[in-house]
Chain A
Amino acid sequence: MGSFSGQSSGSCDLSFKILLIGDSSVGKSSMLLSFISASAEDLAPTIGVDFKVKLLSVGGKRLKLTIWDTAGQEKFRTLTSSYYRGSQGIILVYDVTRRDTFTNLTDVWAKEVELYSTNQDCVKILVGNKVDMFQDSERAVSREEGIALAKELGSIFLECSAKTRKNVEQCFEELALKIMETPSLLEEGSAVGKRNILKQKPEQAPPGGACCS
């Protein structure tokens, strides 16, 4: 498991909780690692849940994103379900080279969100990962299908590659922007942000400049 790279605290204006879900091996952890530390490596399957924190600036605000990474296998689902609670954003990930991971978003994951997400306004983004893979494998889900499903789910849509980092940052940033445009979520985020500031201690910037400016 990767080390914790973005530091948990440091002053920020807003703090949001984001959840990554989707089938096993679609690249949730890789997306997160790619976003946090700009590295791309093969990762062992996630057991249970894990999370990372990233500080960044979006729309002139300093954000703290706590991104929860979950195990994809069904067996862990009852366990991970509690992590839907209180999240302002949910990233639904599929693998563009494996069709079943796409159909499971409708069959399984969207239902999970419905069932467990306590936040009516919670922003969703649909992400097709592994667009770098087309020389090895066929594309199994077209871009148009992705867009159509996103429309159905009322979510944003993006295709990305955790490996090349293409669109990875955009995924998180667009999600954050949309959350900030939603008044109820913005309020939740600033309440948490303030609370954090109160107990904040001065802290050194994390190496590699992953921190907000």
Chain B
Amino acid sequence: MLTEQKPLMRALRRSHTSSSQSTSSSSSSSSNTSSSSSSSWIHLRSVLLVVASSSSSSSSSSSSQQIPTDRGSLKSPWSHRRRKHALLPKQWKNLFTADGKLIDGGVKFLKKIRSGGVDPSIRAEVWPFLLGIYDFNSSKEERDSLRSQKRKEYERLRKRCRQILKRTEKSVKLKGTAGNVCNEDNECFSQVFDSPGLEDVVSGRKSHSTEGGSPVFDDSDHRICDHSHPSSLSSDSFLEGEVDKRVVISQDACTGETESSDSDSSEEDENTPLLSSEIIEENDIHKDDNDSSSPSQIEGRSATPTDEDFATWRRIILLDAVRANDDWIIYSPSQASVSTMEARRLAESVGLKDYDDLEPCRIFHAARLVSILEAYALYDPEIGYCQGMSDLLSPIISVVEDDSEAFWCFAGFMKRARHNFRLDEVGIRRQLNIVSKIIKCKDNHLYRHLEKLQAEDCFFVYRMVIVLFRRELNFEQTLCLWEVMWADQAAIRAGIARSAWGRMRLRAPPTDDLLLYAIAACVLQRRKLIIEKYSSMDEIMRECNSMAGHLDVWKLLDDAHDLVVNLHDKI
């Protein structure tokens, strides 16, 4: 191990001396073995950080020169020493102006959450802001009206679910075969978007997307742009310039090639999902049509699902709902104490039967999962339902007790996460690529070892990417991580990343890919083990799949923060 580490250590020492003015305070400890103790890592990281900032020729150098005397502000907001409290109810109340707008465009709000998460008692109120349902500049009135509009829309989706279910049951009865739920009614959906491909549908949405509030930019866009134009966005986030970020984004978006459908589909505005309402009307009209379905519906790419698609999703949703993790129970007393009758009634209303001997609260939880996941499958038929989505929704419904609000929070969450569930695996592969790149940039030695094992594709972190650490972290820790991650994404979405963060002196600029940095950090935390002990990809995967209960979310964020500081302009 020691011999293997030498090149790295030497490199670090080299960089150490080259930036001597800034490193005197940490030089003694950095000669410890690097990966074995976390404290020495922190020093090493700060060395790297200093090197990184002092070598950058940008105008930010004036502030980075002061680093040695101002080390406190350099620390990540999540480091043990700097860890702040969560956003508290009282602070939350004080964040609003008289007409109910968030003060300073949400900067203070996001800053607070970014460094400590949200107090459990106000999560249900805060999340709709974090997840892009409410604009930061919206007034209370606007939000109230949006809420009722959204509720109607959700109810329409639920109504469609019930209609399909009814039709399917009828046809099953008619045909007398349980396995074959494909029926004449299927085709009524294909009528709506018969020949146009996804792009047409998407552009249809897009044209309406600026109607209410400020446009929302898809986060994946940024990443793509960062990819092809490494210097375009993130590298200069330290700058104080007030250039409108959106302009930069849209320029870059024009040059991004194949991803247009991705980015556009998430660009739909809060108020939109016009698609869904259009379909509803069409459905009602064409209910009894009998035409053949379009070829685009095969392979699950349909803009509108067939009854068969829906039946397939529903089957798996029902199975997954009853086996959802139950660690939410202690955090949600009101739902935990739901009566048997209420639970059974709700289960019956969504056709959930096979819950065996589950406790009432778990039946209730399962039934809520079913109704929201079904509605989501209709809302986003390109994705439909994929296993893992119930892992993402379960914490949300535990916190948000209203179904419609929980649905829209979930839909907001899925704007990013949906790409992971695409059938063509483009999304997940891109994410794994970024993890791989982070590891390569940070720790070439480890990367070469991974290459030797043919594991450099980082497939072993697959599950972490798909369910965003839900299987590795406990309920509370998962929510903290997600909130910090959402705050980063919200900052970027609201365009306040560039202008505000420099002033806020949080060294790591917000990133859309905080999750991926955290995943890379968690692999890097195990570099020694991986390099010395593991001789196959399988072993690394086993390690990654059995991390549950062994991770500290704040340490993870702290390490992720350091990676962002050092690498955000390289990734």
A interface residues, Cβ below 8 angstroms from B: 1-4, 8, 24-25, 42-51, 66, 71-73, 75-76, 78-79, 99-100, 103, 136-137, 199
**Complex: A135 Cα to B178 Cα, angstroms:** 21
**CB-CB < 8 A to A78: which residues of B?**
425
Q: Does B538 contact A (CB under 8 A)?
A: yes
| B541→A51 contact, CB < 8 A | yes
Point out the residue from A25, A48, A50 that lies within 8 Å of B323, measured CB to CB: A25
Binary A-proximity of B350-394 (CB < 8 A = 1, otherwise 0): 000010100000000000000000000000000000111011000
Q: Choose among B315, B388, B541 the residue with the greatest number of A CB atoms under 10 Å from its CB.
A: B388
Establish whether residues A43 and B179, one from each chain, have CB atoms under 8 Å apart when the complex forms: no
Indicate if the CB atoms of A75 and B421 lie closer than 8 Å: yes
Bound: A192/B315 CA distance, A? 40
SS class of chain A's interface: helix, strand, loop or mixed? loop
Which residues in window 314-362 of B have CB below 8 A to A? 315-316, 319-320, 322-325, 354, 356
- List B contacts of A51 (CB < 8 A): 538, 541-542
Instruction: Closest A residue to B542 by CB, please name it.
Output: A4
A8 CB, nearest partner CB in chain B, Å: 7
Q: Report if A48-B316 is in contact (Cβ < 8 Å); known contacts: A1-B546, A3-B548.
A: no
Contacts of B466 in A (CB 8 A): 47-48
Binding site for A on B (CB under 8 A): 178-179, 315-316, 319-320, 322-325, 354, 356, 386-388, 390-391, 421, 423, 425, 462-463, 466-467, 471, 535, 538-539, 541-542, 545-546, 548
Does the CB pair A47–B471 fall under 8 Å?
A: yes
- Inter-chain CA distance A44–B463, complex, in Å, is 13
Question: Would you give the shortest CB distance from B388 to chain A, in whole angstroms?
Answer: 5
Contacts of B325 in A (CB 8 A): 44
Given known contacts A24-B319, A44-B471, A100-B179, A4 and B546 CB-to-CB distance under 8 angstroms:
yes
C-alpha gap A49/B425 in the complex (Å): 15
Count the A-B residue pairs with Cβ separation under 8 angstroms: how many?
77
| B390 and A45 within 8 A (CB) | yes
A78-B339 Cα distance, complex, nearest whole Å? 43
Which chain A residues lie closer than 8 Å to B421 at the CB level? 75
| Chain B residues with CB under 8 A of A100 | 178-179, 315
User: Quick check: A47 and B467 within 8 Å, CB to CB?
Assistant: yes
- B386 / chain A contacts, CB cutoff of 8 Å: 73, 75
Q: Collect the chain B residues with CB atoms within 8 Å of residue A3's CB.
A: 546, 548
Known pairs A47-B463, A47-B471, A73-B316; A42 contacts B539 (CB<8 A): no
Listed from nearest, the 3 A-B pairs whose CB atoms lie closest are A25-B319, A48-B462, A45-B387
CA distance A4 to B538 in the complex (A): 13
Q: Which residues of B contact A66 (CB under 8 A)?
A: 538
Which residues on B sit within 8 Å (CB–CB) of A75? 386-387, 421, 423
Q: Which residue of A lies closest to B461 (CB)?
A: A48
CA separation between A51 and B179, bound complex, in Å? 31
User: B542 near A8 (CB under 8 angstroms)?
Assistant: yes
| Bound complex: CA A94 to CA B502 (Å) | 57
Complex interface: chain A residues within 8 A of B423 (CB)? 75
Question: Are A71 and B387 closer than 8 Å at their CB atoms?
Answer: yes
Name which residue of chain B comes closest to A48, CB basis: B462
B387 CB contact (under 8 Å) in A1, A8, A73, A199: A73
20 contacts between A and B (CB under 8 A): A1-B463, A1-B471, A2-B546, A8-B539, A24-B319, A25-B319, A25-B320, A42-B322, A44-B471, A45-B323, A47-B391, A47-B462, A47-B467, A47-B471, A50-B541, A75-B386, A75-B387, A99-B179, A100-B315, A103-B179
Query: Which residues on B sit within 8 Å (CB–CB) of A79?
Result: 425, 462
Residues of B within 8 A of A46 (CB): 387
Report the Cα distance A50→B387, complex, angstroms.
Answer: 15
Asked if B323 and A43 sit within 8 Å, CB to CB, the answer is yes
**Residues of chain A lying within 8 A (CB to CB) of residue B316:** 24-25, 73
The CA-CA distance from A99 to B315 in the complex, in Å, is: 13
User: Once bound together, how far apart are the Cα atoms of A78 and B541, in whole Å?
Assistant: 18
* B463 contacts A48, C-beta separation under 8 Å: yes
Chain A residue with the shortest CB-CB distance to B391? A44
Task: Give the one of A75, A79, A99, A199 with max B CB within 10 A.
Answer: A75
Complex CA distance for A29 and B178, rounded to whole angstroms: 26
Nearest opposing residue in chain A for B313, CB measure: A73
Question: In this complex, what residue of B is CB-closest to A52?
Answer: B542
Which of chain B's residues has its CB closest to A97's CB? Answer: B354
Can you add 8 more A-B contacts, CB < 8 Å, to A1-B471, A46-B387, A47-B463?
Answer: A8-B539, A25-B323, A44-B324, A47-B467, A49-B462, A71-B387, A75-B386, A79-B462
